[in-house]
Structure 1
Amino acid sequence: MEQGREAHCSAEETLTADYKMMMTLGQGQFSEVKLAFHVPTVSCVVVKILRNKKKYASFINSEVSIMKSLAHANIIKLFHVVHIGETTYLVMEHASEGDLLHHILELGSLEESEARRLFIQILHAVQYCHDNSIAHRDIKAGNILLDCRGNAKLGDFGLSAKVIPEQKFSDFCGTLYYCAPELFGEEAYDGRATDIWNLGVLLFLMVVGHFPFRDSSVAGVKQQILAANFKVPPHVSIDIFNVIVELLVINPGRRPTIGQIMRRPMVRNSEARSPPTSTQLSQAPQALALSRP
């Protein structure tokens, strides 16, 4: 018991000494996200503070476990986990340019060359997740962060889940405007197929500047989603148009896999013209990772 108290005090003292909380970046149902300064490496990090209430325990345990298993250039890196009493602190990479949603809102919509570049990076991140049997289940512009080099980083794995072969989900999760039609039905659904639908909504938003399904009421948005009732403006290039239409298919079994999307002209031709993206993390986060075993 005494050892437990000592460990508790040690973790709290280390957290207080090494990390200086600066400002709140966001708040969720059972979490708070803060920008913090890591004193030993003189660098900024993001600290996600999770309240360990019983009804959220499975989500928290899943998020921590999944984030510990991830290592990809286009996924937010988890550096350290601190448990203090009924609170868990996730110390993560800070993407200094904010989220993709704000970037789109500032510009109205993205130039197609930038949309292609960022979307391909997001595809690589999601492909890595699916290859490792992880369904993200909440892919949206607000969960895509941009680093100081303007590269995309997939974040927020709070609703993600490990998927065993043929596993289906029955819980409703995600964000209304991104929801796949099967989420409104009574049958269990494939989490990876809903990720594919999310990507279709995301790509549409990137190049058009608004959501494909929008109405003044929740019921109206839901009805449009169930009918896949959307229209791609004529200014959108045919290769991007084809991918959007292929991703936003009502029947989840007919949606392409990430591997199939990677072979489409929009992706294949763009990758052929572009230099490879660096997979190296910056020096400060590397130092942080080494200093926090």
Structure 2
Amino acid sequence: PPAGKTQQGLKEQYRLGSLLGRGGFGSVFAATRLSDGAPVAIKRVPRNRVLHWGELPDGTSAPLEIVLLAKVSTGFPGVVQLLEWLELPKDILMVLERPKRCQDLHRFIRARRFLPEEEARELFRQVLEAVRHCTSCGVLHRDIKPGNILVDLDTGQAKVIDFGCGTYLQDTAYTHFAGTRSYSPPEWTHFGRYYGKPATIWSLGILLHQMVCGEHPFRRGQNISWDHQLSLPQRLSQGGSSSLGLWGIPVLGDSSGLVGILHWQLLRRWHMSCSPPKQGVDGKVQAEL
């Protein structure tokens, strides 16, 4: 992604609009590209909040978020595209693609209370494809949740956004947590360590629960543990030829093309009310992404 434009040059190319969102790492604004009227998003991150830097293929030093985006976004529709970025004395600016009509999945679900199983299956399939693409590129997002999934309302395309908590994928355990606490896996709470792929499966399970049930499976302030019993609505199908498989977890086999995540793996990793992992967090229980 090109960098090096002056701030004045950026103002000449984009018209800034309303604030779209604000988080711990920065603010995101709607904007319009003046050359063709295309909608974009501009993310502003204060330099003093950029804790990790990396190197782009051309040798340029850049914030790790930009390096990770450069690895996963080009040519893949399921991840937001980084169009360009700018390093200023006090801020880092990222120009990102923004569908003309879009809504994050959190607001998308709230507007409907919950998603029908067919609609949830299709959106969840796209998220799985995006996560699998990221891991194949050696990137771990670490903050998969409805607020970080953008839905194009015209095409139905889901896009993973916000790699501010992302890092490089590793086979060894992580001892530092980055992301949203209510999506953290039990092994982080109990052991202070976690493995990237199983932790992602855990957050995907919570995401799916929110899609089809309309709410987070763990009430605020409730300890996330392996013996937590989930209560799922009776309206959910019980498998067979339906869109969702056993207990509402999608059956992702050869028919979906996502052979890397079988439904039994997802059940074993997420519905942990059966029993905690016998080996703790030694990495032996790994779901392939």
TM range (shorter): 0.7 to 0.9
Q: Which runs of 5+ in 1 are unaligned?
A: 1-6, 259-293
**1:68-95 deviations in Å (ceiling 9; x for gaps):** 1113111111110111212111100113
What RMSD in Å do the two structures reach over aligned CA positions?
2.1
Return the TM-score normalized by structure 1: 0.77
Contact preservation (8 Å) 2:16, 2:31: yes
Give the equivalent residue in structure 1 for 2:86.
Answer: 82
Partner of 1:269: none
Match of 2:155 among 114, 125, 149: 149
Quote the residue 2:194 is aligned against.
Answer: 189
Q: Does 1:36 align with 2:31?
A: yes
Map of 1:57 onto structure 2: 51
Unpaired segments of 5 or more residues in structure 2? 54-61, 250-265
Q: Give the C-alpha shift of residue 246 in structure 1.
A: 3.6
Alpha-carbon distance in structure 2 between the residues aligned to 1:46 and 1:108: 27
Whole-angstrom distance in 2 between the partners of 1:179 and 1:88: 28
Residue 256, structure 1, aligned to residue 287, structure 2 = yes
TM-score (norm: length of structure 2):
0.78
SS of the residue aligned with 1:205? helix
AA partner of residue 168 (structure 2):
K
Higher RCO (CA-CA < 8 Å; seq separation 6+): 1
Residue range with higher mean Cα deviation, 168-177 or 20-29: 168-177
% same residue: 28
Shift in Å, 1:168: 2.0
2:13 is aligned to 18
- The size of the alignment, in residue pairs, is 244
List, as ranges, runs of 4+ consecutive aligned residues in structure 1 with deviation greater than 4 Å.
Answer: none
In structure 2, what residue type is equivalent to 1:245? L
Q: 1:247 to 1:41 in 2, by over 3 A?
A: farther
Bigger helix share: 1
Q: What residue in structure 2 maps to residue 287 of structure 1?
A: none
Shift in CA distance, 152/26, structure 1 to aligned 2, threshold 3 Å: same
8 Å CA contact retained: 1:177, 1:214: no
Which whole-Å deviations, capped at 9, do the CAs of 1:49-69 have from their partners, x for residues lacking one? 01101x533178211100011
Is residue 170 of structure 1 aligned with residue 192 of structure 2?
no
Give the 5 Å matches for 1:124-273. 124-147=129-152, 148-164=154-170, 166-215=171-220, 218=221, 221-222=222-223, 224-239=224-239, 240=244, 241=247, 243=249, 245-248=267-270, 249=272, 250-251=276-277, 253-254=284-285, 256-258=287-289
Deviation at 1:242, TM superposition (A): 5.7
Amino acid corresponding to residue 211 of structure 1 in structure 2: H
Mapped contact 1:137–1:192 kept (Cα < 8 A): no
